[in-house]
Amino acid sequence: MRLPSDLDYIELDLARERWLPPIDGDPDPDPNDWPDPGGGFWASLYRALWDAWGDPYWWPGRNAWECAAGAVLVQNTTWKNAGRMIPKLRETGSGDPASILAADVDELRSTLRPVGYYKTKTRKLHELARWWLARDVDGGGIDGVPDDQLRRELLSVWGIGPETADDILCYSFARPWFVVDAYAVRLRQRILGSDEIPDYHELQAEVHGQVTRHPLVMNHLHGMVVNLCKFVCRKKPNCPACPLRTQCAHGRRALVVDTSS
Ligand code: SF4
């Protein structure tokens, strides 16, 4: 089933270019080959969204570096805006960490200008590229490095916070870490009918405790939450079109009001 209003998403060149990192030694993992997501609250959301819409095709990019660069570029902007930068960087010969470092800084800033905070993001890409090359990520340098250690290293890179680190862990390195974002917080509030704003790591621990810790499960769950909140559970939610309406406190209230008016 197509998303109800997904034309913007589908029309982005990158949307169907989703790349999956090798998982458990499989260099070409099947996105449908995920284990039972578990029995907790977040697992029930996972099942309902997957049954309705299937693969969310997340995260756009052709390789690990492009996914990581996208995670930096999307900070403080929309994906629609950030996603256009990935092919632009390719076209301008800055599509990999070595060429980012070799590029003329003013030209790189000029390329990144449309994405906002372009000077800061140029520096962030530089810092991440330096770490990437020093770690020999593309040559297998992080194989076998424990998740926690890798996460600490990413967080020590200038400009990389928890959300960006988890984007990279999950989508570039196939480590089973859930990405918490404003969408996940909003969805939790509405489903539970609560105003509570959980701390990043509290919400991440909640999801990790309720959903099978598998790279594809974490990959799909974040992608499905993004799609749901971009297209249905927006600021003004479209509850009648939502696959979670029977599980959601806000949705149930909205539907009662709607049918009784
Ligand atoms: S039912 Fe409505 S409020 Fe609840 S998750 Fe769906 S769109 Fe959001």
pLDDT digits (tens, 9 = 90+) for 113-131: 999 999 999 999 999 999 9
Q: Which two tokens stand for residue 224?
A: 């499905």
When computed from its CA atoms, the radius of gyration of the chain, rounded to whole angstroms, is 19
**What is the structure's pLDDT at 105?**
96
pTM of the model: 0.92
Phi, psi (5° rounding) for residue 49? -70, -40
Q: Which two tokens stand for residue 254?
A: 């909205």
Phi, psi (5° rounding) for residue 78? -90, 160
Mean pLDDT of the chain: 90
Closest CA to 172 of 226, 203, 132: 132
> What is the number of alpha carbons within 13 Å of residue 46 lying toward its C-beta?
25
Q: Decide if 147 contacts 121 (C-beta within 8 A).
A: no
DSSP letter at 170?
I
Residue ranges covered by each domain of the chain: 41-57+180-260
**What is the structure's pLDDT at 156?**
98
Give the lowest-confidence range in 4-8, 15-19, 223-227, 233-237.
4-8
Closest CA to 220 of 15, 8, 47: 47
Task: Residue 111: count other Cβ atoms within 10 Å of its Cβ.
Answer: 18
Q: For residue 188, report the distance from its CA to the centre of ligand 1, in Å.
A: 10
Q: What is the largest CA-CA distance in the chain?
A: 64
Residue 232 in contact with ligand 1 by CB distance below 6 A? yes
| pLDDT one-digit tens code per residue, 63-113 | 999 999 999 999 999 888 888 899 899 999 999 999 999 999 999 999 999
Q: For residue 201, report the distance from its CA to the centre of ligand 1, in Å.
A: 24
Q: How confident is the model at residue 260 (pLDDT cuts 50, 70, 90)?
A: low
Contacts of 155 (CB under 8 A, 6+ apart): 161, 162, 165
Cα–Cα distance for residue pair 44/40, rounded to 1 Å: 6
| pLDDT one-digit tens code per residue, 12-28 | 444 567 889 999 889 99
Q: Which amino acid is at 115?
A: V
Closest CA to 21 of 57, 55, 67: 67
Closest CA to 116 of 82, 67, 150: 82
| pLDDT one-digit tens code per residue, 170-198 | 999 999 999 999 999 999 999 999 999 99
Q: For residue 49, report the distance from its CA to the centre of ligand 1, in Å.
A: 12
Cα–Cα distance for residue pair 38/137, rounded to 1 Å: 31
| pLDDT one-digit tens code per residue, 147-176 | 999 999 999 999 999 999 999 999 999 999
Q: Which residue has the higher pLDDT, 10 or 237?
A: 237
Counting ligand 1 atoms within 8 A of each CB, the residue from 192, 228, 233 with the most, and so the one to mutate, is: 233
Task: Residue 248: count other Cβ atoms within 10 Å of its Cβ.
Answer: 23
Q: For residue 63, report the distance from its CA to the centre of ligand 1, in Å.
A: 33
Going 252 to 193 to 186 to 204, the CA torsion angle's sign is negative
CATH code of domain 41-57+180-260:
1.10.1670.10
